[in-house]
Structure 1
Amino acid sequence: MEFIDVINERYSVRGYLDKEVEQEKLEFVLKAATIAPTGVNNQPFKVYVIDSKKYKEKLSKIYKAKWFVEAPYVLAVVALRNEAWVRPWDSKNIADIDATIVMDHMILAATDVGLGTCYVGAFKKNYAHKFLGLNENEEVVLFTPLGYGNVEPRETPRKDLNDFVVYKD
């Protein structure tokens, strides 16, 4: 698939088939995480691959939507705050930015091989932290189900370029 097709076809899938994801497709998606750009290439993240059937009850406490646990897997991107680059002039730790880029790479890779995903940031952080057994330097940034979608994309309005692009003279 051409890149422009990938970004045009990606949508937030909120319904999944009960169909296993082939190992080679899962590995393709995970490999995309390793090539995502991060601050000074520190790669301060972990990706958790969670079996949705095995952990359905616990995952449902993290995010209540039924479709969240329909796919065979849920992926979690965890930022490693103590390993991330920090801007020296204002002390901004960019671990959350790095983790978001990683998730974006995986989601686009999933689209490329016909898998559905949905960015989930509205989760219960305390449940997620406890479920994954994270320490104080680790932060769950995003989740996504990973599987074969069974719903069509809904219409999502997009702003016109003139609504958000500013050319600075």
Structure 2
Amino acid sequence: MNLSEIIKNRYSVRNYKDSKVEKELILEILEAARTAPSAVNFQPWHFIVIQNEELLTQLHSCYDRSWFRSAPTIIVACADHLQSWKRPSDGKDSADIDLAIAIDHITLKATELGLGTCWVCNFDVTSCSAILQLPDNIEPIALIPLGYSDGKRPDKKRKPIDEIVHFDRFNP
């Protein structure tokens, strides 16, 4: 697939087959994240790959949805706030933006490799941090279930381009 096809084929997978994801594919996906751009190239990220059944079960308590429990792998994308760039004018921490770019690389590479993903940001961050015993400067930003889709693809609805693009000035 070319990039345009990958972008159009990517969707939020919410049902996974009961098949393990090969380590080589996971490493290929994480290599795509590793090469993502970040503010001042600080790369303030850590990716924790969870495949252990006991840890998966514990993480399920952070986001209690049946479809989430079907994923054989969960990547926990974490920001390192001691490493992230902060904008001098107002102190804005770029970690969330940097992680969003890296996560997008993960989702697109997974699609290219025939795997499905979904961004999960509505989870219990405090519980997740405790389960993974994360230090205070490491914040879990997203849980990314990863696996082979069961093929149930939802309709992908998008706003028309003229509702979201503005030339020269904002014109709602």
Query: What range describes the TM-score normalised by the shorter chain of this pair?
Result: over 0.9
Kept in 2, the 8 Å contact 1:59–1:69? The answer is no
Could you list the runs of 5+ residues in structure 1 that have no partner in the other structure? none
- Spell out, residue by residue over 1:93-150, the C-alpha distance to the aligned partner (whole angstroms, 9 max, x if none): 1011111111111111000000000110110111111111112211111111111010
- Spell out, residue by residue over 1:66-91, the C-alpha distance to the aligned partner (whole angstroms, 9 max, x if none): 22122221001100011111111111
Q: CA RMSD in A?
A: 1.2
Could you list the runs of 5+ residues in structure 2 that have no partner in the other structure? none
1:123 has 2:123 as partner: yes
- The TM-score, its normalising length taken from structure 1, stands at 0.95
Kept in 1, the 8 Å contact 2:56–2:74? The answer is no
- In 2, the alpha carbon distance for the partners of 1:52 and 1:32 equals 23
Aligned residues: 169
Kept in 1, the 8 Å contact 2:72–2:146? The answer is yes
Percentage of identical aligned residues: 37
Alignment of 1:52-91 (within 5 A): 53-91=53-91
- In 1, the alpha carbon distance for the partners of 2:97 and 2:52 equals 26
- The TM-score, its normalising length taken from structure 2, stands at 0.94
The runs of 4+ residues in structure 1 deviating greater than 3 Å are none
- In 2, the alpha carbon distance for the partners of 1:71 and 1:144 equals 9
Kept in 1, the 8 Å contact 2:11–2:156? The answer is no
